[in-house]
Structure 1
Amino acid sequence: MEFGTKDRYQTIRDAGEYDWQRLGELGVLGAAIPEEHGGLGLGALDTALVFEAAGYGCKNTGLIFAAGAHLFATALPIAEFGSDSQKKKLPRMCDGTLIGANAMTEPDAGSDISALKTTATPKDRGYVLNGVKSFVSNGPTADIIVTYAVTDPAKGHLGTTGFVVDADTPGVMKSEPFSKLGMNGCAAGTVEFRDCAIPEEAVLGNGSVVFQHGMLWERACLFAIYLGVQDRLLERCLKHVKQRKQFGRRIKEFQSVSNRIVDMKLRLESARLLLYKACWAIDTNEDAVLPAALSKLAVSQTAVQNALDAIELFGGRGYQTDEGIEEHLRDAVGGLIFSGTSDVQRQLAALELGL
């Protein structure tokens, strides 16, 4: 699909029906990938606006999250650090032909890249991977996996290496999708490497550098999904309080209700500005670690609190699954955990502040 900057975001907001291929057609899957590799070539802020628009337009929040994991944690690292042969995969990742997954988290390591147990042992001008990765978004359906393994235990987190692995490589074992609280449009599972032989050409780069680059973009841009979702939720809440009557009055006339709506709007716009600032820092080559951590923290907490407020505004109807209000809460809770928990973001911010 061809469209200019002026109408790109409205086109995505109004797309109507979404599936993986449709996201490829709209440019969402390759928003930040250079045009020569099949993407839109957008910076961080414009990419965030794309995901914000998709979050607003698509009610399947998990699907848009899956697109974000595919782009920021898989395609973008390949575009930034990959070899020419690895970059040949990008056009098919941008158009939705191939699905990417990032296999970093391990059952006992969590966000601690220095505690990885997956190993990559040199052998026959290549490596043999062994280890288990958990909570892999897109893992069960992935065609391409960016993963991280220990290559030099003596160097701690600097002794890890990133690899690009084809999911059909012998020794790659993908689990069935996990059952989760929310984000059901994103299949997540376990990926295990059992004596998985990969060529030297699979090396992507220093694991710590590659991973942190992807996480910086993910924390800043992916969470724009929740901005779009919250815009849609707030619109629905406004419509509801203007129509719903109790005790002979529209409930918007009760100050407790109007104050709740204002607080929802305040949180949303404050989080939006923090996220835009984080993206601006990336685009201008400023140090983006602190703004990205603060924006991820603010947006994820806003999504949870605004979803709770929406449930209270809708009352019993908000608690019923048929109304779709409670789904906002289930989808929001994951934001407190993935891409680094809220406590991890606070720790990152504290370190940046010299604490």
Structure 2
Amino acid sequence: MACRQSGWAFMDFHWDTTLQDRHDRIVTELSTWPRPDEDYYTREQWQSVAELGLLVLPIPGAHGGSGYGALETARLVDAFGRGAPDLGLVFAACAHTFACAIPVAEFAEDGLREWVLPRLCSGEWIAGNAVSEAEAGSDVNAMRTTAVRDGDHYVLNGTKSFVSNGPVADVFVVYAVTDPSLGHLGISAFLIERDTPGLRAGEPMPKASLRSCPAGPVVLDDCRVTAGHRIGPEGHGAAIFQRSMQWERTCLLSAYNGRTERLIDRCVEHATTRRQFKRPIGTNQAVSHRLVDARIRLEAARLLLWQACWRLDQGIRAVLDVSMAKIAISENAVQTALEAVHLFGGAGILEETGIDVALCDALPSTVFSGTSELQREIVAVEMGL
């Protein structure tokens, strides 16, 4: 019998044939894609992602989406991360969907939703989530960007510091303070097009991780936005942001499970073909046990994630589950990448092997969408500490 209070229930992780076939097709299709030749993904690559249906997984069918819940979406994003040759593009697409399209789909008024979502779902538009500031990363309540009501408009001023997709985005989901006296209840969300006067998207910032996903600042200087472009009621921005974080901390992180499995498979192949002292290095327990432990950590993290997603789909409180899953997935991604560097030895730091990229791409997973330290604080509170 299911027990709501303790969190136990009958969770069925059997994938129906349709979903499993789609998962396998995504992995197979993406495995044929070449690594990007340019520094950042191109519009053509973005359109290819859209054509695979990877921008619309959780978006309702009425707006051109697949209508999947969190669990189904996580399963397919896992395939996205496993099959794609470049994790930066995966990250960019997930940020577009979970941090931008989801808030519009779930909170915007019908007119705004019907105008924006078809463009986001088709890949015609790329979206950027403008929330982080120099002094307000994990501490969203420290946000300084303001939105002052002026008749039928709002006037926004401030600088967002690290906007994924920002340098190329066509539209932004921007969070700003509408009533400083109300704390987190005084934050609102807005949808702003790139060519709106007073909005300036900065150049991409050089970075070592997820390099093909451009990220940069967005400056708002007396940027006037109609009230109709506010997402949800005034003061609901914090709630909208937290809802988008539920999707990011589960489904975006699922891409890292797929990526970690891809890396483990590569390590196993290397361990069976690389010979030292006249035998494959995988016959040494020092090697094989490390890979076994990596696989155990992966499957444990995956089950934590699926449990979190299942609870979200059932409408059950999942704050504890989501934070635990993010910690497990992100920290395993980093640990497994470090193990891969060690396993490949000198080749592990050569650019031609790509192991260095795997490590660099894993590192920010413990920081974005709330640091591991913040997640542990959330878990501590949920435990009653």
Given the two structures, how large is their TM-score scaled by the length of structure 1? 0.97
| Mapping of residues 76-91 of structure 1, within 5 Å | 76-88=102-114, 89-91=116-118
Matched letter for residue 285 of structure 1: G
CA shift, 1:352, in A, is: 1.4
Moved more, 168-177 or 12-21: 12-21
**Residue 151 (structure 1) aligns with:** 178
Q: Secondary structure at the match of 2:167?
A: helix
**Residue 5 (structure 2) aligns with:** none
**Residue 9 (structure 1) aligns with:** 23
**Residue 11 (structure 2) aligns with:** none
**Residue 217 (structure 1) aligns with:** 247
Kindly, what percent of the aligned residue pairs are identical?
Answer: 48
**Residue 154 (structure 2) aligns with:** 127
| Mapping of residues 191-202 of structure 1, within 5 Å | 191-202=218-229
CA shift, 1:17, in A, is: 2.4
CA distance in 2, matches of 1:97, 1:298: 35
Q: In 1, are the aligned partners of 2:33 and 2:85 still within 8 Å (CA)? A: no
**Residue 271 (structure 2) aligns with:** 241
CA distance in 2, matches of 1:110, 1:157: 14
CA shift, 1:282, in A, is: 0.8
**Residue 103 (structure 1) aligns with:** 130
Task: From 49, 63, 75, give the equivalent of 2:75.
Answer: 49
CA shift, 1:124, in A, is: 2.8
Task: From 33, 37, 50, give the equivalent of 2:63.
Answer: 37
Q: Cα distance 1:305–1:6, how it changes in 2: closer, same or farther (>3 A)?
A: closer
CA distance in 1, matches of 2:240, 2:360: 30
| Mapping of residues 161-200 of structure 1, within 5 Å | 161-200=188-227
Q: CA RMSD in A?
A: 1.2
Q: Secondary structure at the match of 1:135?
A: strand
Q: Deviations over 1:190-219 (max 9, x none)?
A: 011000000010111211110000001110
Q: Secondary structure at the match of 1:14?
A: helix
Equivalenced residue count is 353
Matched letter for residue 149 of structure 1: A
Matched letter for residue 67 of structure 1: A
Task: From 298, 305, 308, give the equivalent of 1:278.
Answer: 308
Q: Secondary structure at the match of 1:223?
A: helix
Q: Deviations over 1:255-282 (max 9, x none)?
A: 1011111111111111111111111111
CA shift, 1:61, in A, is: 0.2
CA distance in 2, matches of 1:252, 1:6: 31
Q: Deviations over 1:147-176 (max 9, x none)?
A: 111111110011111111111101111011
Matched letter for residue 21 of structure 1: Q
CA distance in 2, matches of 1:113, 1:253: 50
CA shift, 1:4, in A, is: 4.3
**Residue 304 (structure 1) aligns with:** 334
Q: Secondary structure at the match of 1:315?
A: helix
Given the two structures, how large is their TM-score scaled by the length of structure 2? 0.90
CA shift, 1:5, in A, is: 2.9
| Mapping of residues 63-82 of structure 1, within 5 Å | 63-82=89-108
Task: From 314, 318, 324, give the equivalent of 1:288.
Answer: 318
Q: Secondary structure at the match of 1:230?
A: helix
CA distance in 1, matches of 2:380, 2:153: 40
Matched letter for residue 114 of structure 1: N
Task: From 239, 254, 260, give the equivalent of 1:230.
Answer: 260
Q: Secondary structure at the match of 2:112?
A: helix
Matched letter for residue 366 of structure 2: L
**Structure 2: gaps (5+ residues):** 1-16, 35-44
Q: Cα distance 1:266–1:6, how it changes in 2: closer, same or farther (>3 A)?
A: closer
Q: In 1, are the aligned partners of 2:164 and 2:213 still within 8 Å (CA)? A: yes
Q: Secondary structure at the match of 1:198?
A: strand
CA distance in 1, matches of 2:84, 2:222: 40
Matched letter for residue 210 of structure 1: I
Alignment pair present for 1:139 and 2:153: no
CA distance in 2, matches of 1:9, 1:22: 16
CA distance in 1, matches of 2:292, 2:367: 27
